[in-house]
Chains A and B, each alone.
Chain A
Amino acid sequence: MASKRIGIEASLAIAEAVKLANTDVIAAYPITPQTHIVEGLAELVANGELDAEYIPVESEHSAMSACLGSSAVGARTFTATAGQGLILMHEVLLVAASMRLPIVMAVANRALSGPLNVWGDQSDAMVTRDGGWIQIFVENGQQAFDQVICSFYIAEHPDVLLPVMINIDGFHVSHVIEPIELLDRKTVDEFLPPYKRRYTLDPDNPVTMGCFAAPNMYTETRKDLDNAVRESKKVILDVWRKFGELTGRHYRPIEQYKADRAETLLVLAGGYSENAMDTIDKMQGEGKKVGLVRVRLWRPFPHDDIKEALSGASNVIVLDRAISLGGPAPICSEIRDSLYSHEKKPRIASIVGGLGGRDISPADFEKVIEIGLERIKAGREHETYMYGVRE
């Protein structure tokens, strides 16, 4: 394996990964904080470094729609968006999954209107979670780069054929310049098989794509899609294993940080986990039995891995960077669901914070853990606590 380690912004590293994957079509519409990704790609195409069709569409709805078309003729297809853009393409996202089109998309996670807010949180990803996309959270630029390469492999695998969304925190990760190890073209070519579809829109072998399904067929089509999403985990694990063997960078559906023998586990997804690691280091240094668990694979939801990672702890504190207005916070509610049938289930506190780009510092994480434990003690597990609200 050949690679080079350079200082590069996460967004541009994503563009590099799309280039190294020899992507055929990019359809994109600019939206903060995704812009650096698509600008980077436009530049690579303009300079001839990436031989691809770049479609500068007039909306995110058309971005994803153009991706449907190009993926259906058998072209490797990428797009990127954020926040409102993801919500505008929501209708099309569901079709991409149901038509089994392996589009890869980077989402620079952003808060949702209103009020308008261009800064980061994970509300956009959560709104789209039920649409049949494989969803992966990353925590830094290196992971974003790696997961773009892995995602093409996963998405286009004949046993999967599903679109993949890579969730990258807007600004907090997307705009950070960090040392990133970029693979070289030869290594990526050897790792990533070409996109070959059995059925494409081909006049020599005409097929009809996108029939409607009456009540006598619809349920079966949804069951089939649900099976496909669930079963994609096997391929995801396999691709991550191969990638780990190649690069030494290993990915798991649920990842732990100093979580062995911890009584209290903090759970979260995305870039804030690196701040939380500092907090765990400090608190463990003070003799506190705390650890960190990070959600890497959000869809298909890794119930078994969650059970394995959390069932030994007494307390679980879940920090969601998204709010379900009038309902339980999304990651926490799914974790509760996974642990409900477990005999020795831990007690769970739900905290929402870091909305619309509000920082959560290592000191804040200590408070989050404190508050979580207090609420468990007070028996307020069913409530969602919103951290950092100015009264």
Chain B
Amino acid sequence: METLSIYAPKLVTKGEYIASGHRACSGCGEVLAVRYVCKALGRNTIISNATGCMEIISSPLPETAWEVPWIHTLFENASAVASGIESGIKALKRKHGYTKEVKVVAMGGDGGTADIGLQSLSGALERGHDFLYVCYDNEAYMNTGIQRSSETPFGASTTTAPAGKKSMGQHTWKKNMAAIAAAHNIPYVATSCSSYPFDIMSKVEKAVKIKGPSYIHILSVCPTGWRCPSRQTIKVGRLAVETGIFPVYEIENGQYKLNIDLPKLRPVEDYLKMQGRYRHLTKEHTAEIQVRVVEEYNKVRYLAGLKKIK
């Protein structure tokens, strides 16, 4: 990873497929991730976007930030729309002399993926459409004002699961979407984070080369919803990975590989204390999170054939 990052920037296209001037918040990690994904995809791409932040910031009629063909219809159906696009192109190729090689990509936030869109995603993965699904996970419904989703982490305060005298905020643990995607026995699943551009780009390139469905889950830092300074987006994302809270790995034909393998994890406190959404947590809560994080991290290590760490 380190050596790659020395010369990799030179290999990255200067082409931009999501134009600047969109309405994302300053410091938005999600739109950064979209930018990297699009760079890796290139121009021969059709995007089906779920309702959510990325749709709202990029497409106020009569403007658009998209330089590739892009369609938004509803919240829960980006994968089903992508299924139709992929099938339509297949039919056009067979019957009507269509010759372009097009990558079909569906994308959505954590709500559009893990909650309301889970059924249509599962259907599309199971049916084996040749498409890539990218989940930009900012761990809550940020577009509507920071409401909890099934991807909101344990202990985070959101507007529908707020911390209070009788609540410590989110009391459930983050849904493991990568494992759910992998359970469909699809050829390629990966996780990544908006603070790791080359990791994102290399995974997207790999995913679209593979025939059949692939899934990439990108933790996308949201300064607005996580309540951290917008200048620290990259740092917060890196800490999510370095603490082991968000392991970065890929699952190729069922085989796990930990892409960012750290000799020692940093304490979760380093990550939690940077964000206002965790401000209310007690030492006991932090300790509970620490235990769980190491446990979950070791599950991934085990699946990747690596030794446990403490």
B100 near A66 with CB under 8 A, answer no
CB distance from A187 to the nearest CB of B (A): 20
CB distance from B111 to the nearest CB of A (A): 16
Residue of A57, A65, A72 contacting most chain B CB atoms (<10 Å): A65
Residues of A with C-beta under 8 A to B76: 61
CB distance from A62 to the nearest CB of B (A): 4
A75 near B120 with CB under 8 A, answer no
A208 near B66 with CB under 8 A, answer yes
Q: Is B305 interfacial (CB-CB < 8 Å)?
A: no
A62 near B55 with CB under 8 A, answer no
Q: Is A309 interfacial (CB-CB < 8 Å)?
A: no
Partner of A62, one of B59, B72, B120: B120
Complexed CA–CA distance, A204 and B69 (Å): 9
Partner of A69, one of B48, B66, B68, B123: B48
Complexed CA–CA distance, A209 and B72 (Å): 6
Q: Is A277 interfacial (CB-CB < 8 Å)?
A: no
Interface residues on B, range: 35 or more
Task: Give A26's nearest chain B residue, CB to CB.
Answer: B87
Task: Give the residues from 42 to 77 in chain B that come closer than 8 angstroms, CB to CB, to chain A.
Answer: 43-46, 48, 55-56, 59-64, 66-74, 76-77
Q: Is B308 interfacial (CB-CB < 8 Å)?
A: no
A25 near B74 with CB under 8 A, answer no
Residues of B with C-beta under 8 A to A58: 119-120, 122-123, 126
Question: Chain B 72-93 against A: per-residue CB contact (8 Å), 1 yes, 0 no?
Answer: 1110110111111111111110
Task: Give A199's nearest chain B residue, CB to CB.
Answer: B69
A208 near B88 with CB under 8 A, answer no
B81 near A221 with CB under 8 A, answer no
Task: Give the residues from 100 to 130 in chain B that come closer than 8 angstroms, CB to CB, to chain A.
Answer: 100, 102, 119-120, 122-124, 126-127
Complexed CA–CA distance, A92 and B82 (Å): 14
Residues of A with C-beta under 8 A to B283: none
Q: Is B94 interfacial (CB-CB < 8 Å)?
A: yes
Task: Give the residues from 202 to 259 in chain A that come closer than 8 angstroms, CB to CB, to chain B.
Answer: 202-214, 217, 221
Q: Is B95 interfacial (CB-CB < 8 Å)?
A: yes
Task: Give B102's nearest chain A residue, CB to CB.
Answer: A203
Complexed CA–CA distance, A24 and B61 (Å): 31
Complexed CA–CA distance, A389 and B120 (Å): 41
| Residue ranges of A at the interface with B (Cβ–Cβ < 8 Å) | 22, 24-25, 27, 51-53, 55-59, 61-63, 65-75, 77, 91-92, 95, 99, 200-214, 217, 221
| Residue ranges of B at the interface with A (Cβ–Cβ < 8 Å) | 43-46, 48, 55-56, 59-64, 66-74, 76-77, 79-92, 94-96, 100, 102, 119-120, 122-124, 126-127
Question: Can you list 30 A-B pairs with a CB-CB distance of less than 8 A?
Answer: A24-B95, A24-B96, A51-B91, A53-B88, A53-B91, A65-B83, A69-B81, A69-B82, A69-B83, A69-B86, A70-B88, A72-B88, A73-B46, A74-B92, A77-B88, A91-B74, A201-B85, A203-B100, A203-B102, A206-B43, A208-B64, A208-B70, A209-B72, A210-B59, A210-B72, A210-B73, A211-B60, A211-B62, A211-B63, A211-B64
